[in-house]
Structure 1
Amino acid sequence: MSTGTDARAAWRAWRERRTADLSRPYGPLALTGTFWLADHADGRIPGLVGRWTEDGDAVVLHATAADGLTADGAPLDGEIRLAPDAGPETARIAHGARRLPVLRREGLWVVRDFDPAAPARRDFTGIDAYDHDPRWTVPGRFRPYGASRAVRVPNADGVHRELGLAGELAFTVAGAERTLQVAVEDDGSLWAVLADATSGTESYRFRFLRTPAPAADGTVTVDLNRTLLPPCALVDHFICPFPPPGNTLPFALRAGERNRSGT
């Protein structure tokens, strides 16, 4: 059985892994731009070379040798069709040290620019967090909906987009049951976008919570000490969704990450 000391040590190790993940060369702090191709009908994106256009299920990139782009590690001189990338580390297109992955959101194509020399990465000094408190680790239960739902919520860039929800996560705090609407990730883990009484004052205006995949009976440990800052709290170019209706907790959640250090 884990002791309080074990739990605190595990939390500290999680914090160290989190900082290392954020700080990697092509981690979130390296993002310097998110560009929707629908906003650039001529295929020209400010700050990027080449011509980027959509063609059904692919992005078509046309570049000359003088542009200095590489595709799969080789100089690009001509045209290439691009499917969505898994992430910046495996992006097919690069410009020097920069990686230019493409992705698709709600049927729209996006190009992102990751630069290891980004100021956000260079100036990063860490994340402020509340101290670990074992009282914020509680048993929970996942209650799936009969069918997946989607709600439109504002995103950090001001645009409303759909947020898919698969059920609710129930847990008890101070003798009262609370619920959060959650999505189920590909690995079965749960993801919630939430706010609370500290949001926008003591902590960032909203945060994320992730839990392990629930057991077959729906039970799952909810560790609010591991509440996360969304990527848009660290870099402006992310388009994080705001909490859906009902996901604002009516108490001060003084647990987890608060804000980027120095904010």
Structure 2
Amino acid sequence: MTTSTATEFDTTWALWHHAREDQLRDPLGFLSLTALHWLTDQPERLADVPGTWWVTEDKVFITAQPGDRLEFQGTGIAGVQILTPAEGAPGLEVRHGDRILEVIRRTGRYAVRVHDPKSPALLAFEGIPAYAPDPRWVVTGHYRPFDVPRTLTTGAVVDGLEHHHTATGTIEFTIGAVTEQVVAFGNGDDLRVLFTDATSGVTTYPAARAVAVGAPDPDGTVHLDFNRSANLPCAFTDFATCPIAPEQNRLRVAVEAGEQHPKLGLGDRL
């Protein structure tokens, strides 16, 4: 690789890295989370959340008074509001001043996530620690699609939850002397791999990292740029419900590339 090519590689990676950090600076993004309240079938008041909340027959019920200042779809909640969030999807948003109370459904359970632009985690965020970019971690692999997409179930960082992924094929690649085969999620034009490796729980987040693969060439060739291995939201907050990597995608090698454990940036020992 020539000097100019190396400079272009580093610059392109830096732009990707800065975009990742800017995404996390969203005032109502994952770093703004301050609480995760699981709901039951008993009406109850949640800590630092107005109104009364409960679940009946797969519907979330909220009772509130005008003074509670709760709004759904631009209308104040005065009396009873019923919400039906979709399984695994982004939640329905109830506004409370400059906060968002996100109502979610995960594995048939319902919860309220509190997004606060004054979150301590958001205010303290100084960036994502990462390995220095290295072209050697751009790996060529071969994608083999399944005849029919399959549903692959993984666990989650929250005990008792499950994630159901659409697996469309496998990718085989070699790092050093080790050949690995992983399951790819997504569709044929937008593949991604959720994985762990020998750095997981040491210098990188233990549950999983994700790397976008994109569309394979007509002959099945793909390129995995492990420099762009990204943390899931759960690496940054205890109030996310992210999946863990499937057993098939637990690499034997140490992928010393991409984003590291965010706590490294805070000087914590892992």
- TM-score for both structures, normalised by structure 1: 0.86
In structure 2, stretches of 5+ residues that fail to align are none
CA drift at 1:165 = 4.6
| Paired residue type of 1:48 | V
Alpha-carbon separation, structure 2, partners of 1:72 and 1:152: 33
Q: In structure 2, what is the equivalent of residue 239 of structure 1? A: 241
Q: Per the alignment, in what secondary structure is the counterpart of residue 178 of structure 1?
A: strand
| CA displacement 1:145-179 (0-9 Å, x = unmatched) | 334132343x2223352442513222221254312
Give the equivalent residue in structure 2 for 1:157: 158
Alpha-carbon offset, residue 212 of structure 1: 4.1
- Cα distance in 2 for partners of 1:257, 1:92 equals 30
Identify the range of structure 1 (165-174 vs 50-59) with the bigger mean alpha-carbon deviation.
Answer: 50-59
* Selected match of 2:260 from 243, 258, 263: 258
Which amino acid in the other structure matches residue 162 of structure 2?
R
Q: Cα distance, 1:122 vs. partner?
A: 0.9
Match of 1:116 in 2: 117
CA displacement at 1:209 relative to structure 2: 1.9
Displacement after TM superposition at 1:60 (Å): 2.7
Could you give the per-residue CA deviations for residues 193-221 of structure 1, whole angstroms, max 9, x where no partner exists? 32111111222214322324323634332
Q: Which amino acid aligns with 1:200?
A: G
Residues 24 and 178 (structure 1 numbering): CA distance in 2 closer, same or farther, change over 3 Å?
Answer: same
Is the alpha carbon distance of 1:40 and 1:219 closer, same or farther for their aligned partners in structure 2, counting shifts above 3 Å?
Answer: farther
Distance 2:32 2:41 in 1: 23
* Gap runs ≥5 in structure 1: none
1:60/1:141 Cα in 2 relative to 1: closer, same or farther (>3 Å)?
A: farther
Within the alignment, does 1:15 sit opposite 2:26 as a pair?
no
- The partner residue of 1:183 within 182, 185, 188 is 185
Instruction: Find the counterpart in structure 1 of residue 107 from structure 2.
Output: 106
**Deviation, structure 1 residue 188:** 4.6
Alpha-carbon separation, structure 1, partners of 2:72 and 2:154: 36
User: CA–CA distance in 2 between the matches of 1:144 and 1:61?
Assistant: 45
- Residues 194, 211 of structure 2: 8 Å contact kept: no
Deviates more, 1:189-198 or 1:206-215: 206-215
CA 1:92–1:234 in structure 2 vs 1: closer, same or farther (change >3 Å)? closer
Q: Which amino acid aligns with 2:105?
A: R
Q: Structure 2: which amino acid aligns with 1:122?
A: L
Contact 1:178 1:249 in 2 (8 A): yes
Looking at structure 2, the residues matched to 87 and 240 of structure 1 have their Cα atoms a distance apart, in angstroms, of 12
Match of 1:60? 61
Q: RMSD in angstroms over aligned alpha carbons?
A: 2.6
Query: Corresponding residue for 2:26?
Result: 24
- CA distance in structure 1 between the partners assigned to 2:97 and 2:125 by the alignment: 23
Deviation at 1:14, TM superposition (A): 0.6
Name the residue aligned to 1:82: 83
Question: For the residues of structure 1 that align with 2:195 and 2:255, how far apart are their CA atoms?
Answer: 10
C-alpha contact (below 8 Å) 2:189/2:214 kept by paired residues: yes
Shift of 1:243: 1.9
State the TM-score, normalizing by the size of structure 2: 0.84
More divergent stretch after superposition (27-36 vs 46-55): 46-55
Partner of 1:210: 211
Distance 1:144 1:223 in 2: 20
Q: What amino acid is aligned across from residue 45 of structure 1 in structure 2?
A: L
* Identity between Structure 1 and Structure 2 (%): 33
Give the C-alpha shift of residue 47 in structure 1: 2.8
